[in-house]
Structure 1
Amino acid sequence: MKILAFDTSNKPLSVAVVVDGKVLAHLESTEKKTHSVTILPDIKKALTESNLTINDIDLIAVAKGPGSYTGVRIAVTVAKTLADTLHKNLVGVSSLELLAADGDKAHILVPLMDARNDNAFAGVYQNSRDKFVSIIGDHHTSMEKLFEALKEYDENQLEFINATPRLQELIQNQFPNAKIITVEDSLPDAAKLAKLAESKKPVTDIDDFIPTYLRLTQAEHDWYAKGHKDDGNVSYVEEV
Protein backbone atom coordinates (compact mmCIF):
# COMPACT_ATOMS: atom_id res chain seq x y z
CA MET A 1 0.00 0.00 0.00
CA LYS A 2 1.25 3.46 -0.92
CA ILE A 3 0.49 6.00 1.80
CA LEU A 4 0.90 9.76 1.82
CA ALA A 5 0.83 11.03 5.41
CA PHE A 6 1.10 14.54 6.82
CA ASP A 7 0.59 16.45 10.04
CA THR A 8 0.29 20.21 10.61
CA SER A 9 -1.46 20.08 14.00
CA ASN A 10 1.75 20.98 15.86
CA LYS A 11 4.51 23.54 15.27
CA PRO A 12 6.59 21.26 13.01
CA LEU A 13 5.25 20.16 9.64
CA SER A 14 5.80 16.49 8.87
CA VAL A 15 5.21 14.73 5.54
CA ALA A 16 6.03 11.15 4.59
CA VAL A 17 5.49 8.67 1.79
CA VAL A 18 5.44 5.05 2.95
CA VAL A 19 5.08 2.06 0.61
CA ASP A 20 4.39 -1.37 2.09
CA GLY A 21 5.93 -0.32 5.38
CA LYS A 22 9.05 1.20 3.83
CA VAL A 23 9.64 4.93 4.24
CA LEU A 24 10.53 6.35 0.81
CA ALA A 25 10.46 10.02 1.80
CA HIS A 26 10.26 11.84 5.11
CA LEU A 27 10.31 15.64 5.43
CA GLU A 28 10.30 17.64 8.65
CA SER A 29 9.96 21.42 8.52
CA THR A 30 10.34 23.81 11.44
CA GLU A 31 10.74 26.93 9.31
CA LYS A 32 8.95 30.05 10.48
CA LYS A 33 6.49 29.89 7.62
CA THR A 34 2.83 29.05 7.89
CA HIS A 35 1.96 25.45 7.12
CA SER A 36 -0.44 26.67 4.44
CA VAL A 37 2.58 27.94 2.48
CA THR A 38 4.80 24.89 2.88
CA ILE A 39 2.51 21.85 2.95
CA LEU A 40 1.84 21.49 -0.79
CA PRO A 41 5.47 22.06 -1.85
CA ASP A 42 6.58 19.54 0.79
CA ILE A 43 4.04 16.98 -0.42
CA LYS A 44 5.27 17.48 -3.98
CA LYS A 45 8.88 17.12 -2.87
CA ALA A 46 8.13 13.93 -0.92
CA LEU A 47 6.41 12.39 -3.92
CA THR A 48 9.30 13.38 -6.20
CA GLU A 49 11.83 11.81 -3.82
CA SER A 50 9.72 8.64 -3.85
CA ASN A 51 9.51 8.56 -7.66
CA LEU A 52 5.73 8.59 -7.37
CA THR A 53 2.91 10.86 -8.42
CA ILE A 54 -0.12 11.71 -6.33
CA ASN A 55 -2.16 9.39 -8.56
CA ASP A 56 -0.02 6.45 -7.42
CA ILE A 57 -1.06 6.95 -3.79
CA ASP A 58 -3.61 4.50 -2.35
CA LEU A 59 -4.28 6.12 1.03
CA ILE A 60 -4.02 9.60 2.47
CA ALA A 61 -3.41 9.75 6.23
CA VAL A 62 -3.79 12.98 8.19
CA ALA A 63 -3.45 13.98 11.83
CA LYS A 64 -6.94 15.27 12.58
CA GLY A 65 -6.30 17.06 15.88
CA PRO A 66 -6.45 18.29 18.51
CA GLY A 67 -3.81 20.96 18.15
CA SER A 68 -3.44 24.36 16.59
CA TYR A 69 -6.87 25.30 15.21
CA THR A 70 -5.40 26.77 12.05
CA GLY A 71 -2.85 23.99 11.65
CA VAL A 72 -5.42 21.22 12.00
CA ARG A 73 -7.75 22.89 9.50
CA ILE A 74 -4.95 23.21 6.94
CA ALA A 75 -4.03 19.52 6.98
CA VAL A 76 -7.61 18.26 7.05
CA THR A 77 -8.63 20.58 4.20
CA VAL A 78 -5.71 19.44 2.03
CA ALA A 79 -6.39 15.78 2.87
CA LYS A 80 -10.09 16.05 2.06
CA THR A 81 -9.45 17.89 -1.19
CA LEU A 82 -6.92 15.33 -2.40
CA ALA A 83 -9.02 12.36 -1.33
CA ASP A 84 -12.20 13.71 -2.86
CA THR A 85 -10.83 14.94 -6.19
CA LEU A 86 -8.54 11.95 -6.74
CA HIS A 87 -10.93 9.34 -5.29
CA LYS A 88 -8.44 8.13 -2.69
CA ASN A 89 -9.10 6.53 0.69
CA LEU A 90 -8.71 8.87 3.66
CA VAL A 91 -7.83 8.04 7.27
CA GLY A 92 -7.76 10.49 10.16
CA VAL A 93 -5.56 9.75 13.17
CA SER A 94 -5.65 11.49 16.54
CA SER A 95 -2.76 13.92 16.89
CA LEU A 96 -2.40 12.75 20.50
CA GLU A 97 -2.20 9.10 19.44
CA LEU A 98 0.54 10.12 17.02
CA LEU A 99 2.48 11.70 19.87
CA ALA A 100 1.95 8.54 21.94
CA ALA A 101 3.87 6.67 19.24
CA ASP A 102 7.01 8.48 20.49
CA GLY A 103 6.74 6.76 23.88
CA ASP A 104 7.94 3.49 25.37
CA LYS A 105 5.45 0.76 24.46
CA ALA A 106 5.80 -0.77 27.94
CA HIS A 107 4.49 2.37 29.66
CA ILE A 108 1.14 4.03 30.23
CA LEU A 109 1.44 6.82 27.67
CA VAL A 110 0.06 10.30 28.32
CA PRO A 111 0.48 12.54 25.24
CA LEU A 112 -0.09 16.23 25.89
CA MET A 113 -0.58 19.50 24.06
CA ASP A 114 -0.26 22.58 26.23
CA ALA A 115 -3.54 24.55 26.14
CA ARG A 116 -2.26 27.30 28.46
CA ASN A 117 -3.33 28.28 31.97
CA ASP A 118 -2.32 24.83 33.29
CA ASN A 119 -4.73 23.13 30.89
CA ALA A 120 -3.93 20.61 28.20
CA PHE A 121 -5.28 18.44 25.46
CA ALA A 122 -4.54 14.97 26.76
CA GLY A 123 -5.17 11.29 26.18
CA VAL A 124 -4.03 8.11 27.89
CA TYR A 125 -2.88 5.18 25.77
CA GLN A 126 -1.46 1.71 26.23
CA ASN A 127 0.23 -0.38 23.59
CA SER A 128 -1.29 -3.79 22.98
CA ARG A 129 0.08 -6.02 20.23
CA ASP A 130 1.62 -3.01 18.48
CA LYS A 131 -1.65 -1.10 18.51
CA PHE A 132 -2.46 1.86 20.72
CA VAL A 133 -5.52 1.37 22.92
CA SER A 134 -7.18 4.46 24.35
CA ILE A 135 -7.58 4.08 28.12
CA ILE A 136 -8.85 7.61 28.67
CA GLY A 137 -10.20 9.33 25.59
CA ASP A 138 -8.67 12.48 24.15
CA HIS A 139 -10.04 15.50 25.96
CA HIS A 140 -9.40 19.09 27.03
CA THR A 141 -8.70 19.19 30.74
CA SER A 142 -6.98 20.96 33.58
CA MET A 143 -3.76 19.29 34.65
CA GLU A 144 -5.23 18.96 38.13
CA LYS A 145 -8.12 16.85 36.84
CA LEU A 146 -5.77 14.80 34.66
CA PHE A 147 -3.52 14.03 37.61
CA GLU A 148 -6.53 12.93 39.65
CA ALA A 149 -7.56 10.51 36.90
CA LEU A 150 -4.03 9.08 36.74
CA LYS A 151 -3.67 8.35 40.46
CA GLU A 152 -4.88 4.78 39.98
CA TYR A 153 -1.78 3.99 37.91
CA ASP A 154 1.72 3.24 39.13
CA GLU A 155 3.61 6.48 38.57
CA ASN A 156 6.71 4.50 37.61
CA GLN A 157 4.77 3.28 34.58
CA LEU A 158 3.53 6.71 33.53
CA GLU A 159 5.19 8.44 30.59
CA PHE A 160 4.16 11.98 29.71
CA ILE A 161 4.89 13.01 26.13
CA ASN A 162 5.29 16.45 24.56
CA ALA A 163 5.50 18.37 27.84
CA THR A 164 6.30 22.07 27.77
CA PRO A 165 8.47 23.45 30.62
CA ARG A 166 5.38 24.49 32.60
CA LEU A 167 3.65 21.13 32.17
CA GLN A 168 6.90 19.38 33.03
CA GLU A 169 7.07 21.35 36.29
CA LEU A 170 3.50 20.38 37.21
CA ILE A 171 4.12 16.71 36.38
CA GLN A 172 7.31 16.52 38.42
CA ASN A 173 5.56 17.99 41.44
CA GLN A 174 2.76 15.42 41.22
CA PHE A 175 4.56 12.34 39.86
CA PRO A 176 8.29 12.70 40.56
CA ASN A 177 9.05 9.17 39.31
CA ALA A 178 7.17 9.42 36.04
CA LYS A 179 9.06 9.61 32.76
CA ILE A 180 8.72 12.85 30.80
CA ILE A 181 9.49 13.47 27.13
CA THR A 182 9.76 17.18 26.40
CA VAL A 183 8.36 19.08 23.43
CA GLU A 184 11.80 19.16 21.82
CA ASP A 185 12.10 15.37 21.94
CA SER A 186 8.61 14.39 20.82
CA LEU A 187 8.07 15.86 17.40
CA PRO A 188 5.15 14.47 15.35
CA ASP A 189 6.35 11.94 12.79
CA ALA A 190 4.39 11.43 9.56
CA ALA A 191 6.09 8.07 8.99
CA LYS A 192 4.59 6.85 12.27
CA LEU A 193 1.30 8.41 11.22
CA ALA A 194 1.30 6.23 8.10
CA LYS A 195 1.88 3.13 10.21
CA LEU A 196 -0.98 4.00 12.55
CA ALA A 197 -3.28 4.64 9.60
CA GLU A 198 -2.74 1.16 8.16
CA SER A 199 -4.87 -0.44 10.88
CA LYS A 200 -7.71 2.09 10.80
CA LYS A 201 -10.83 2.14 8.66
CA PRO A 202 -11.00 4.80 5.94
CA VAL A 203 -13.49 7.62 6.25
CA THR A 204 -16.85 6.61 4.79
CA ASP A 205 -18.03 10.13 3.95
CA ILE A 206 -15.27 12.59 3.14
CA ASP A 207 -17.65 15.57 3.28
CA ASP A 208 -18.50 14.78 6.91
CA PHE A 209 -14.88 14.40 8.00
CA ILE A 210 -13.95 17.33 10.26
CA PRO A 211 -11.04 18.21 12.55
CA THR A 212 -11.08 17.22 16.21
CA TYR A 213 -10.82 20.42 18.24
CA LEU A 214 -12.00 19.18 21.70
CA ARG A 215 -12.94 22.71 22.75
CA LEU A 216 -14.73 25.68 21.24
CA THR A 217 -12.78 28.07 19.07
CA GLN A 218 -12.81 31.69 20.20
CA ALA A 219 -15.20 32.52 17.36
CA GLU A 220 -17.62 29.81 18.53
CA HIS A 221 -17.31 30.95 22.12
CA ASP A 222 -18.19 34.52 21.08
CA TRP A 223 -21.03 33.22 18.88
CA TYR A 224 -22.73 31.41 21.75
CA ALA A 225 -22.00 34.27 24.16
CA LYS A 226 -24.18 36.47 21.95
CA GLY A 227 -27.14 34.22 22.69
CA HIS A 228 -26.99 31.80 19.77
CA LYS A 229 -27.91 28.27 20.80
CA ASP A 230 -26.45 24.93 19.84
CA ASP A 231 -29.52 22.85 19.04
CA GLY A 232 -27.51 19.83 17.98
CA ASN A 233 -28.63 20.11 14.39
CA VAL A 234 -26.95 23.18 12.95
CA SER A 235 -23.27 23.75 13.67
CA TYR A 236 -21.69 27.15 14.16
CA VAL A 237 -19.80 26.77 10.87
CA GLU A 238 -22.92 25.85 8.92
CA GLU A 239 -24.89 28.74 10.45
CA VAL A 240 -22.21 31.28 9.54
Structure 2
Amino acid sequence: MPYLAIDTATQTLSVAVGEKGKLLGEATTQLSRNHSVKMMPLLEGLMSNLDLTPDSLQGIVVGRGPGSYTGVRIAVTAVKAFAMALNIPLVGVSSLDGLARHGELSDALVVPMFDARRKQAYTAFYEQQNGVFEKIAEDRLLVLDDLIKAINSRMVVRRLDKRPVKVLLLGDGAQAHREELRERLGEKAQFAPSPSHDFVRAAHLLDVGIPLIEAGETHDAATFAPEYLQLVEAEKKWLEAQQAGGTTQ
Protein backbone atom coordinates (compact mmCIF):
# COMPACT_ATOMS: atom_id res chain seq x y z
CA MET A 1 0.00 0.00 0.00
CA PRO A 2 1.27 3.49 -0.87
CA TYR A 3 2.22 6.52 1.15
CA LEU A 4 1.42 10.17 0.41
CA ALA A 5 3.83 13.12 0.78
CA ILE A 6 3.02 16.84 0.55
CA ASP A 7 5.13 19.99 0.84
CA THR A 8 3.94 23.61 0.60
CA ALA A 9 6.65 25.32 2.68
CA THR A 10 8.07 27.35 -0.20
CA GLN A 11 6.92 28.66 -3.57
CA THR A 12 7.03 25.04 -4.71
CA LEU A 13 3.90 22.93 -4.27
CA SER A 14 4.74 19.23 -4.48
CA VAL A 15 2.73 16.05 -3.89
CA ALA A 16 3.91 12.47 -4.36
CA VAL A 17 2.67 8.93 -3.85
CA GLY A 18 4.98 5.97 -3.47
CA GLU A 19 6.10 2.89 -1.65
CA LYS A 20 9.44 2.20 0.01
CA GLY A 21 12.04 2.46 -2.74
CA LYS A 22 9.41 3.05 -5.45
CA LEU A 23 7.86 6.32 -6.64
CA LEU A 24 4.40 5.78 -8.11
CA GLY A 25 3.71 9.38 -9.11
CA GLU A 26 4.57 12.98 -8.38
CA ALA A 27 3.17 16.40 -9.28
CA THR A 28 5.06 19.63 -8.64
CA THR A 29 4.33 23.22 -9.58
CA GLN A 30 6.09 26.55 -9.20
CA LEU A 31 3.35 28.60 -10.80
CA SER A 32 1.93 30.31 -7.73
CA ARG A 33 2.09 30.73 -3.98
CA ASN A 34 -1.68 30.19 -3.86
CA HIS A 35 -1.18 26.67 -2.54
CA SER A 36 -4.44 26.61 -0.60
CA VAL A 37 -6.37 26.70 -3.88
CA LYS A 38 -4.11 24.47 -5.98
CA MET A 39 -3.11 21.73 -3.53
CA MET A 40 -6.30 19.64 -3.52
CA PRO A 41 -6.85 19.65 -7.31
CA LEU A 42 -3.19 18.68 -7.80
CA LEU A 43 -3.49 15.87 -5.26
CA GLU A 44 -6.84 14.64 -6.60
CA GLY A 45 -5.47 14.59 -10.14
CA LEU A 46 -2.43 12.58 -9.08
CA MET A 47 -4.50 10.05 -7.14
CA SER A 48 -6.94 9.72 -10.03
CA ASN A 49 -4.15 9.14 -12.55
CA LEU A 50 -2.79 6.38 -10.30
CA ASP A 51 -6.28 4.85 -9.85
CA LEU A 52 -5.97 5.24 -6.09
CA THR A 53 -8.46 6.31 -3.46
CA PRO A 54 -7.67 7.95 -0.10
CA ASP A 55 -8.46 4.74 1.81
CA SER A 56 -5.65 2.99 -0.08
CA LEU A 57 -3.05 5.13 1.69
CA GLN A 58 -1.16 3.66 4.64
CA GLY A 59 0.63 6.76 5.86
CA ILE A 60 1.36 10.43 5.21
CA VAL A 61 4.64 12.37 5.13
CA VAL A 62 4.56 16.17 5.28
CA GLY A 63 7.18 18.87 5.00
CA ARG A 64 6.80 20.62 8.37
CA GLY A 65 8.93 23.62 7.45
CA PRO A 66 10.83 25.80 7.89
CA GLY A 67 9.59 28.17 5.23
CA SER A 68 6.68 30.48 4.55
CA TYR A 69 4.44 30.71 7.62
CA THR A 70 1.27 30.52 5.54
CA GLY A 71 2.68 27.93 3.17
CA VAL A 72 3.80 25.54 5.89
CA ARG A 73 0.40 25.69 7.61
CA ILE A 74 -1.47 24.71 4.43
CA ALA A 75 0.12 21.27 4.12
CA VAL A 76 0.28 20.64 7.87
CA THR A 77 -3.41 21.49 8.38
CA ALA A 78 -4.43 19.27 5.46
CA VAL A 79 -2.42 16.20 6.50
CA LYS A 80 -3.59 16.43 10.11
CA ALA A 81 -7.17 16.21 8.83
CA PHE A 82 -6.30 13.37 6.43
CA ALA A 83 -4.49 11.36 9.10
CA MET A 84 -7.34 11.65 11.59
CA ALA A 85 -10.09 11.00 9.04
CA LEU A 86 -8.32 7.97 7.52
CA ASN A 87 -6.82 6.77 10.83
CA ILE A 88 -3.35 6.42 9.33
CA PRO A 89 0.07 7.44 10.70
CA LEU A 90 1.59 10.85 10.06
CA VAL A 91 5.21 11.92 10.16
CA GLY A 92 6.61 15.39 9.64
CA VAL A 93 10.10 15.86 8.21
CA SER A 94 12.12 18.94 7.43
CA SER A 95 11.25 20.58 4.13
CA LEU A 96 14.99 21.20 3.79
CA ASP A 97 15.39 17.41 3.53
CA GLY A 98 13.24 17.51 0.41
CA LEU A 99 15.61 20.01 -1.17
CA ALA A 100 18.91 18.59 0.07
CA ARG A 101 18.37 15.19 -1.53
CA HIS A 102 19.01 16.69 -4.95
CA GLY A 103 22.64 16.53 -3.80
CA GLU A 104 22.64 13.08 -2.20
CA LEU A 105 25.12 11.71 -4.76
CA SER A 106 27.47 14.68 -4.45
CA ASP A 107 30.80 14.44 -2.64
CA ALA A 108 30.40 18.07 -1.54
CA LEU A 109 28.93 19.54 1.62
CA VAL A 110 25.26 20.02 0.66
CA VAL A 111 23.63 23.21 1.96
CA PRO A 112 19.96 23.80 1.09
CA MET A 113 18.81 27.38 1.63
CA PHE A 114 15.31 28.84 1.87
CA ASP A 115 15.34 32.62 1.57
CA ALA A 116 14.14 34.17 4.86
CA ARG A 117 14.67 37.82 3.78
CA ARG A 118 16.89 40.38 5.52
CA LYS A 119 19.98 38.45 4.32
CA GLN A 120 18.86 35.38 6.27
CA ALA A 121 18.26 31.79 5.25
CA TYR A 122 16.73 28.66 6.72
CA THR A 123 19.40 26.03 6.26
CA ALA A 124 20.95 22.74 7.35
CA PHE A 125 24.08 20.77 6.41
CA TYR A 126 24.25 17.34 4.77
CA GLU A 127 27.01 15.14 3.39
CA GLN A 128 28.00 11.61 2.58
CA GLN A 129 29.09 9.67 5.67
CA ASN A 130 30.38 6.14 5.02
CA GLY A 131 28.28 5.88 1.87
CA VAL A 132 25.11 7.24 3.51
CA PHE A 133 23.69 10.71 2.88
CA GLU A 134 23.23 12.18 6.36
CA LYS A 135 22.17 15.40 8.04
CA ILE A 136 25.12 16.70 10.04
CA ALA A 137 23.69 20.05 11.23
CA GLU A 138 20.05 20.56 12.13
CA ASP A 139 17.66 23.18 10.72
CA ARG A 140 18.45 26.72 11.77
CA LEU A 141 17.93 30.32 10.75
CA LEU A 142 21.22 32.08 9.97
CA VAL A 143 22.21 35.48 8.67
CA LEU A 144 24.38 35.17 5.58
CA ASP A 145 27.60 36.11 7.40
CA ASP A 146 27.11 33.38 9.99
CA LEU A 147 26.20 30.83 7.34
CA ILE A 148 29.38 31.53 5.39
CA LYS A 149 31.43 31.23 8.59
CA ALA A 150 29.78 27.87 9.35
CA ILE A 151 30.50 26.63 5.82
CA ASN A 152 34.14 27.68 6.05
CA SER A 153 34.47 25.93 9.43
CA ARG A 154 33.17 22.73 7.88
CA MET A 155 35.58 23.16 4.97
CA VAL A 156 38.48 23.09 7.47
CA VAL A 157 37.22 19.73 8.80
CA ARG A 158 36.83 18.36 5.28
CA ARG A 159 40.34 19.46 4.36
CA LEU A 160 41.77 17.71 7.43
CA ASP A 161 39.79 14.60 6.47
CA LYS A 162 41.20 14.87 2.93
CA ARG A 163 37.72 15.25 1.48
CA PRO A 164 36.74 17.56 -1.40
CA VAL A 165 36.67 21.16 -0.19
CA LYS A 166 33.50 22.22 -1.95
CA VAL A 167 29.92 23.09 -1.07
CA LEU A 168 26.75 22.57 -3.11
CA LEU A 169 24.30 25.42 -2.44
CA LEU A 170 20.66 24.76 -3.32
CA GLY A 171 17.36 26.61 -3.19
CA ASP A 172 15.94 30.09 -3.62
CA GLY A 173 18.15 31.33 -0.78
CA ALA A 174 21.26 30.28 -2.70
CA GLN A 175 19.99 31.99 -5.83
CA ALA A 176 19.01 35.16 -3.94
CA HIS A 177 22.58 35.53 -2.64
CA ARG A 178 24.42 33.77 -5.46
CA GLU A 179 26.84 36.61 -6.28
CA GLU A 180 27.90 37.20 -2.69
CA LEU A 181 28.21 33.47 -1.95
CA ARG A 182 30.37 32.96 -5.02
CA GLU A 183 32.51 35.98 -4.17
CA ARG A 184 33.08 35.00 -0.54
CA LEU A 185 33.35 31.22 -0.92
CA GLY A 186 35.35 31.28 -4.13
CA GLU A 187 35.95 28.16 -6.16
CA LYS A 188 34.52 25.85 -3.52
CA ALA A 189 31.00 27.22 -4.15
CA GLN A 190 28.79 25.17 -6.49
CA PHE A 191 25.14 25.76 -7.39
CA ALA A 192 22.24 23.71 -8.70
CA PRO A 193 23.04 22.24 -12.14
CA SER A 194 19.47 23.03 -13.29
CA PRO A 195 16.54 25.11 -11.96
CA SER A 196 14.66 21.94 -10.97
CA HIS A 197 17.36 21.19 -8.39
CA ASP A 198 16.35 24.31 -6.48
CA PHE A 199 12.82 22.91 -5.87
CA VAL A 200 11.58 20.83 -2.94
CA ARG A 201 10.37 17.43 -4.14
CA ALA A 202 7.70 15.50 -2.24
CA ALA A 203 9.25 12.30 -3.63
CA HIS A 204 12.36 13.05 -1.58
CA LEU A 205 10.20 13.48 1.52
CA LEU A 206 8.93 9.95 0.96
CA ASP A 207 12.53 8.69 1.00
CA VAL A 208 13.02 10.28 4.42
CA GLY A 209 9.58 9.69 5.92
CA ILE A 210 8.61 6.13 4.96
CA PRO A 211 11.42 4.54 7.03
CA LEU A 212 10.33 6.66 10.00
CA ILE A 213 6.72 5.51 9.71
CA GLU A 214 7.78 1.89 9.35
CA ALA A 215 9.94 2.27 12.47
CA GLY A 216 6.98 3.67 14.40
CA GLU A 217 8.54 7.14 14.74
CA THR A 218 5.33 9.02 13.96
CA HIS A 219 3.57 12.11 15.27
CA ASP A 220 0.25 12.54 17.02
CA ALA A 221 -1.92 14.16 14.37
CA ALA A 222 -3.89 16.10 16.99
CA THR A 223 -0.84 17.88 18.43
CA PHE A 224 1.51 17.93 15.43
CA ALA A 225 2.77 21.44 14.62
CA PRO A 226 4.91 23.12 11.94
CA GLU A 227 8.55 24.08 12.41
CA TYR A 228 8.91 27.82 11.91
CA LEU A 229 12.32 28.55 13.53
CA GLN A 230 11.31 32.14 14.12
CA LEU A 231 8.31 34.05 15.42
CA VAL A 232 5.80 35.63 13.09
CA GLU A 233 6.06 39.43 12.80
CA ALA A 234 3.11 40.10 15.12
CA GLU A 235 4.64 37.93 17.86
CA LYS A 236 7.99 39.69 17.46
CA LYS A 237 6.40 43.10 17.88
CA TRP A 238 4.42 41.92 20.91
CA LEU A 239 7.56 40.60 22.61
CA GLU A 240 9.49 43.76 21.76
CA ALA A 241 6.71 45.82 23.33
CA GLN A 242 6.76 43.65 26.45
CA GLN A 243 10.51 43.95 26.78
CA ALA A 244 10.28 47.72 26.37
CA GLY A 245 7.64 47.90 29.08
CA GLY A 246 4.72 48.28 26.69
CA THR A 247 1.20 46.87 27.12
CA THR A 248 -1.10 44.77 24.95
CA GLN A 249 -4.29 46.79 25.35
Question: What is the TM-score with the length of structure 2 in the denominator?
Answer: 0.84
More displaced 10-residue stretch of structure 1: 200-209 or 10-19 = 200-209
SS of the aligned residue for 1:77 comes to helix
Report the residue type matching 1:6 in the other structure: I
Q: Which has the higher helix share?
A: 2
> Residues of 1 paired with 2:17 and 2:130: CA distance?
24
Match of 1:127 in 2: 128
| Shift of residue 79, structure 1, vs aligned partner | 0.8
> Residues of 1 paired with 2:13 and 2:108: CA distance?
27
SS of the aligned residue for 1:140 comes to strand
More displaced 10-residue stretch of structure 1: 207-216 or 18-27 = 18-27
Give 1:38-77 correspondences, 5 Å limit. Answer: 38-77=38-77
SS of the aligned residue for 2:102 comes to coil
Q: Deviations over 1:21-60 (max 9, x none)?
A: 3222211122336100111111111111111111100110
Match of 2:141 in 1: 140
| Shift of residue 75, structure 1, vs aligned partner | 0.4
SS of the aligned residue for 2:116 comes to strand
Q: Which has the higher strand share?
A: 1
Structure 1 stretches of 5 or more lacking a match?
229-240
Relative distance call for 1:41 and 1:102 in structure 2 (3 A) is: same
> Residues of 1 paired with 2:38 and 2:68: CA distance?
16
Report the residue type matching 2:170 in the other structure: I
Match of 2:232 in 1: 217
Answer whether contact 1:125 1:136 (CA < 8 A) is retained: yes
Match of 1:86 in 2: 86
Match of 1:160 in 2: 169
> Residues of 1 paired with 2:42 and 2:22: CA distance?
19
1:176 correspondence with 2:186: yes
| Shift of residue 138, structure 1, vs aligned partner | 0.8
- Of the two structures, which has the highest relative contact order with CA contacts closer than 8 Å and spacing of 6 or more? 2
> Residues of 2 paired with 1:59 and 1:127: CA distance?
28
Answer whether contact 2:2 2:19 (CA < 8 A) is retained: yes
Match of 1:196 in 2: 208
Answer whether contact 2:99 2:170 (CA < 8 A) is retained: yes
> Residues of 2 paired with 1:218 and 1:203: CA distance?
30
Answer whether contact 2:17 2:26 (CA < 8 A) is retained: yes
Question: What is the TM-score with the length of structure 1 in the denominator?
Answer: 0.87
Q: Deviations over 1:193-238 (max 9, x none)?
A: 111112224424222211010111112112323328xxxxxxxxxx
Match of 2:160 in 1: none
Paired positions, count: 228
More displaced 10-residue stretch of structure 1: 71-80 or 151-160 = 151-160
Match of 1:233 in 2: none
1:22 correspondence with 2:19: no
> Residues of 2 paired with 1:172 and 1:33: CA distance?
28
Answer whether contact 1:108 1:157 (CA < 8 A) is retained: yes
> Residues of 2 paired with 1:99 and 1:75: CA distance?
16
Answer whether contact 2:62 2:205 (CA < 8 A) is retained: yes
Answer whether contact 2:91 2:219 (CA < 8 A) is retained: no
Q: Deviations over 1:125-173 (max 9, x none)?
A: 1234675422221111111011112223337331111144441112111
Structure 2 stretches of 5 or more lacking a match?
156-163, 244-249
